[in-house]
Structure 1
Amino acid sequence: MMTSEIDDIVRLDGVQKVYGRGSGTVTALAGVTAAFGRGTLTAVMGPSGSGKSTFLHCAAGLDRPTSGSVRFSGEEITGLDEVALTKLRRERIGFIFQSFNLLPSLDVVQNITLPLKLAGRTPDSALVSDVIARVGLADRRHHRPAELSGGQQQRVAIARALVTQPAVIFADEPTGALDTRTALEVLDLLRDSVTRAGQTVIMVTHDPVAASYADRVVFLADGRLTDELHRPTAEAVADRMTRLGAWDARPVGGRR
């Protein structure tokens, strides 16, 4: 499950995450080792409770591992203080979640450029316009979230992640709240960010079709990486998930 260290943008070594104490201890990650190459799209899959979101949060510097190492472009980040971690996330990492997390009082342009302003950076108007065009919202620049469909709101969230030109985009169920057609359009945008901009995307998903857009799928079960597929098809992913017992473990509606 390891790539060449020279090509790794994110690397986890022996990452363990334990919650609680004593009899209430829960091990969400049990010594996970994995690497993610530059300019690749990786899907992370597994049954409900397998540790997918914890894995993503530790890899992205949103949560600190109990033990083990997380490296970003070769730099150890597990020991960084909150100021340094915040700077790293603002400047080099993009986030896309199932909930769009848009500010209702801001229009499309204002929501997209908010991370730049929070980082004290002046938005490049040409770059902002390019990103808005890439996500198909050129005619919605001044609309507020309430005036947009769910798919359009997710496009704003993607544009917000892209505008900082991050090295890595972490996506947690980015298509989970979307209809099938809109979900495929969003996946095309994520795929394009890899092939066109050379960015790295690490995406948690429960959907085999979404996973088929990835270069590689890694499977988690009980806090451990158990298997992986390269150049996956939706059929192969579904078969592997069935053998993990994922379909039996999914809540009603397919959500985690």
Structure 2
Amino acid sequence: MFGRRDKAQRPSGRHSDEALRLVKVSKSYGEGESAVRALDGVSLSLPRGTFTAVMGPSGSGKTTLLQCAAGLERPDSGIVMVAGEEMSKGSEAELTKFRRRRIGFVFQQYNLLPTLTVAQNTILPLKLAGRRIDKAKARSVLEQVGLGGRLKHRPDELSGGQRQRVAIARALVTEPAVVFADEPTGALDIRSARDVLRLLQEAVRVHGRTVVMVTHDPVAASYADSVVFLADGRLAGHMQRPTVDAVAERLAHLGDDINGHDYAAQGV
């Protein structure tokens, strides 16, 4: 649906098959006795062309993990690498440039500009990055997500599911190394949520993108290739080929055996 993978675009280097690598990433908020350690030395590696769900109870660190991995927050310590490039160094301007070049975002509340049309919202990341605007490509991506007939509509003329489709098209048009999705189905009805999850699946399986999705929903997680579980800011396990029942069961016992294993070597 999104076109075929281009094997020639595979990056070179020791970790050429990695889309995302975190090495002992830690992040705390506050100071002194009131400080909260949101991430505690998290290490993991996600291969290119995979769909990973990140799950855990409230306060487990899953949102902080996404923010640090996506360059929205700087970790206190540790290394974040996207497509073989270290992201956690440099100035704020350099970090912003890196995000615009390497990362796509899909948020729960869509984050579309209400005064722009569907087509204008989709090409906005290209404009912000100072890249050439390929309107034909943007139109093609919108057609692929089922919005070819809505190019001139504004967000308030769309349903919630359609708005999230625009957000997915916007995330994909820059051809990012990783797409981060933060509770992308949280504001949608069941049918629209299913459609959005299938689009994310196809972005991975057909187009070769890498998707990292934070979710609290076992049904949403079952669309992923694997699930990473967090508890108290630490990795608490992972699951390949998740099912709704297996994820729900694992969540019910999360924290029973929290460990500090380095999942990088396991290809989570």
Give the alignment's TM-score, normalised by structure 2.
0.88
Shift of 1:5: 3.5
The 5 A counterparts of 1:1-256 are 5-244=15-254
Q: State the SS of the aligned residue for 1:65.
A: coil
Q: State the SS of the aligned residue for 2:21.
A: strand
Instruction: Confirm or deny: 8 A CA contact 2:82 2:178 kept in the other structure.
Output: no
Residue identity opposite 1:98 in structure 2: Q
Q: Distance in 2 between matches of 1:238 and 1:54?
A: 22
Count of aligned pairs between the two proteins: 242
Q: Distance in 2 between matches of 1:47 and 1:5?
A: 31
Shift of 1:173: 0.2
Shift of 1:6: 3.8
Q: Distance in 2 between matches of 1:162 and 1:31?
A: 30
The Cα offsets for residues 138-181 of structure 1, whole Å up to 9 and x where unpaired, read as: 11111111111111111111111011111110000000000011
Q: Distance in 2 between matches of 1:75 and 1:161?
A: 20
Percent sequence identity over aligned pairs: 62
Q: Distance in 1 between matches of 2:94 and 2:185?
A: 30
What residue in structure 2 maps to residue 250 of structure 1? none
Shift of 1:7: 1.7
> Which stretch shifts more, 118-127 or 139-148?
118-127
Q: State the SS of the aligned residue for 2:149.
A: helix
Instruction: Confirm or deny: 8 A CA contact 2:108 2:185 kept in the other structure.
Output: yes
Q: Distance in 2 between matches of 1:118 and 1:34?
A: 30
Shift of 1:100: 0.8
> What do you get for the CA RMSD once the two structures are aligned?
1.2
Shift of 1:80: 2.1
Task: Give 5+ residue unaligned stretches, structure 2.
Answer: 1-13, 256-268
> Which stretch shifts more, 53-62 or 74-83?
74-83
Q: Distance in 2 between matches of 1:152 and 1:88?
A: 28
Q: State the SS of the aligned residue for 1:139.
A: coil
Shift of 1:72: 1.5
Q: Distance in 1 between matches of 2:130 and 2:85?
A: 24
Following TM superposition, the consecutive aligned residue runs of length 4 or more in structure 1 with deviations greater than 6 angstroms are none
Task: Give 5+ residue unaligned stretches, structure 1.
Answer: 246-256
